[in-house]
Structure 1
Amino acid sequence: MISVIIPHLNQPDALEACLRSLDAQTLPRHSYEVIVVDNGSATPPKDVVAGHPGVRLQQESHPGPGPARNAGVAAASGEILAFIDADCRARQDWLSSVLRWSQLSPAGTVLGGDVRIWRPENAKLDAIAAYESVFAYRFKLYIERHGYSGTGNMAVSRRDFDRVGPFAGIDVAEDMEWGQRALRTGLRFRYTPEMIVFHPSRGSLLELYAKWDRHIAHYRNMAEGKPLWRLRWIAQALLILASVAPNALTVLASDRLHGSGVRLKAIAVLCAVRVHRAMTMLSHLQGRRAVAWNVSEAAIPSGAAKGTIVSQLRQVGTPAE
């Protein structure tokens, strides 16, 4: 059996779409179970889960997607653990691909799949979706260059998961940290493009900024204490600024975008995001900051900072509020 584990926090509509996609899998229903772990939502998704027979709802009070996934693992009975996020939708053959490649791969292999930007059929790409179609959820890059998989589309045997141990808490990038431990125990990651899930693009630049604010806080917490970490941190921030030019060429050459207009929109968002990332990294030299997941746009600072962001949003033609 495959155990599908979904961490959830305040995303009932997205969870509904995710569970519908799991109901529609080509793999026979008796071959997999689905476990949703709510991490303290304002309204627990009991009604959503109740609409999908066989789906179980668990609770985890310790904040963070890592602890929520750990609770799902503790409740799981499958030999294969398949992780997907509540705001993702699985292609109909996702679990069939998980099962097939789990059987074909050598022992000690962790599978990471492809995450694509979802949009309604025939819908045009806006600026954010165009940018994310090229730069978001690059699991192939994560696996082949950095040696870890994102947990929005990952599968591992229960035995191998137990060798590595549970995911870390909210203060670090739990997928990256778990992947580092997995490599040290002798496991290897395999990019599996047949394992496909879809993720909707973010609705505005504010949401992109909030995502990167969370990731940067994770990376800063993981970097602190290492030799010369401050100098390395500054150098990385400057490299992010310098990366705009070569990555603009990546946008122009991408086969996921069609037409000059949509490519220019993607490049505009690229410039805004890279500047924000670099400036936020430099601001983190002053000290640690609290980390939260599923931060709403309401968490973006008000006043001058928000005014600057809104100005950038209008320049690239995406909704500001």
Structure 2
Amino acid sequence: MTKISVIIPHLNQPDGLETCLCSLEAQSLQRDLFEVIVVDNGSLALPTEVVARHPGTRLLQEGRPGPGPARNTGVAAAAGDILAFIDADCRAHPGWLDNALNALQSSLPRTVLGGDVRIWHPGDSSLTAVEAYESVFAYRFKLYIERHGYSGTGNLVMFRRDFDAAGPFAGIEVAEDMEWGQRARDAGLRFRYVPEMIVFHPARGSLDELYAKWDRQILHYRHMADGKAAWRLRWIARALLLLASPAAGAITVLTSDRIKGFVTRWRAFAVLCAVRTHRAAVMLTLLRGDRSISWNR
């Protein structure tokens, strides 16, 4: 009987999806213990050929924009009593599902698992500045779980009954991982970080791509701030703190065990300064109005 349903939202990433599905075929967990469901979210061309190369993988479609609705469609079609979420541009460590299953079975009831997301990099070349920065600062799931009480959705595992207790993911108007995490806590669920549950994510290819990621995230925060008391004052204070934050970030860069060498650390710090300045500027600009959100830009 299927134990785990792996759900993958997809939008215009056929090469990444191919890599992701290959990594799932290489899992140490017995193949008949999990199913794979890909939910396309409006791609220019359906990844039909990619999915066809991986027997046992189902392809569904969701017309409402956003990875949240796509994941919800996958959940509705899932046969497993455990749900595992991964993104189409990620690759899973061979022990991902095995470690997730063991951790879930040894956890207290009503526990949601989040794992370690690392930047994928071939070992035969030096890190670019963006790769160095993202190796330190991107996908800090341990921090998200232990300090902020939620897990990112690119490496998330839970019993289906616990997903149902919190309800479906929201759309692109909010940061769906944070919003779902809040509802999960309100429903009495707890989050646990599992470092052995490893997923790899490619770094963004340029500073502009990094800016675009943060632009989308800041718009989510802006939508979530609407209607809250004195949100403008808190928004301005947060933007100003961002401008000053690279000083503290330098310590994180210097002490991180995810990068090595002075040049690599300097590159990471330079991108940190650029990103934090960009984020602060965008936040202050959004005081004058709002913009629509598009996912996976």
Provide TM-score, normalisation by structure 1: 0.91
Runs of 4+ aligned structure 1 residues displaced above 3 Å come to: none
Residues 245-279 of structure 1: CA distance to partner in whole angstroms, max 9, x if unpaired? 11012111111111111111111100100000000
* Matching residue of 1:133: 135
Worse-superposed segment, 62-71 or 285-294 = 285-294
* Matching residue of 2:159: 157
Counterpart of 2:258 in 1: which secondary structure?
coil
* Matching residue of 2:111: 109
Match of 2:189 among 187, 190, 214: 187
Residues 3-61 of structure 1: CA distance to partner in whole angstroms, max 9, x if unpaired? 00000000000000000000000001000000000000000100100000000000000
* Matching residue of 1:95: 97
Alignment of 1:193-208 (within 5 A): 193-208=195-210
Residues 60-109 of structure 1: CA distance to partner in whole angstroms, max 9, x if unpaired? 00000000000000010101000000010000000001110110001100
| Structure 1, gaps ≥5 residues long | 296-321
Distance (Å, rounded) in 2 between the aligned partners of 1:241 and 1:77:
48
Provide TM-score, normalisation by structure 2: 0.98
Shift of 1:121: 2.6
* Matching residue of 1:254: 256
Identity %: 70
Worse-superposed segment, 245-254 or 144-153 = 245-254
Match of 1:243 among 228, 237, 245: 245
Match of 1:222 among 221, 224, 232: 224
Counterpart of 2:158 in 1: which secondary structure?
strand
Distance (Å, rounded) in 2 between the aligned partners of 1:43 and 1:123:
33
* Matching residue of 2:280: 278
Matching residue's letter, 1:126: T
Distance (Å, rounded) in 2 between the aligned partners of 1:115 and 1:286:
35
Distance (Å, rounded) in 1 between the aligned partners of 2:125 and 2:173:
37
Counterpart of 2:54 in 1: which secondary structure?
coil
Counterpart of 1:268 in 2: which secondary structure?
helix
Match of 2:67 among 55, 61, 65: 65
Distance (Å, rounded) in 2 between the aligned partners of 1:211 and 1:67:
19
Distance (Å, rounded) in 2 between the aligned partners of 1:284 and 1:15:
34
Alignment root-mean-square deviation, CA: 0.6
Shift of 1:181: 0.3
Distance (Å, rounded) in 1 between the aligned partners of 2:131 and 2:111:
32
Shift of 1:120: 1.3
Distance (Å, rounded) in 2 between the aligned partners of 1:47 and 1:37:
14
Match of 1:14 among 16, 34, 39: 16
* Matching residue of 2:53: 51
Distance (Å, rounded) in 2 between the aligned partners of 1:255 and 1:61:
42
Distance (Å, rounded) in 2 between the aligned partners of 1:191 and 1:243:
26
Distance (Å, rounded) in 1 between the aligned partners of 2:103 and 2:60:
28
Distance (Å, rounded) in 2 between the aligned partners of 1:254 and 1:84:
25
Residues 202-251 of structure 1: CA distance to partner in whole angstroms, max 9, x if unpaired? 10000000000000000000011101001000111111111111101211
Matching residue's letter, 2:290: R
Q: Does 1:233 align with 2:235?
A: yes
| Structure 2, gaps ≥5 residues long | none
Distance (Å, rounded) in 1 between the aligned partners of 2:142 and 2:270:
24
Distance (Å, rounded) in 2 between the aligned partners of 1:150 and 1:172:
13
* Matching residue of 1:301: none
Q: Give the total of aligned pairs.
A: 295
Distance (Å, rounded) in 2 between the aligned partners of 1:156 and 1:215:
25
Distance (Å, rounded) in 2 between the aligned partners of 1:123 and 1:247:
25
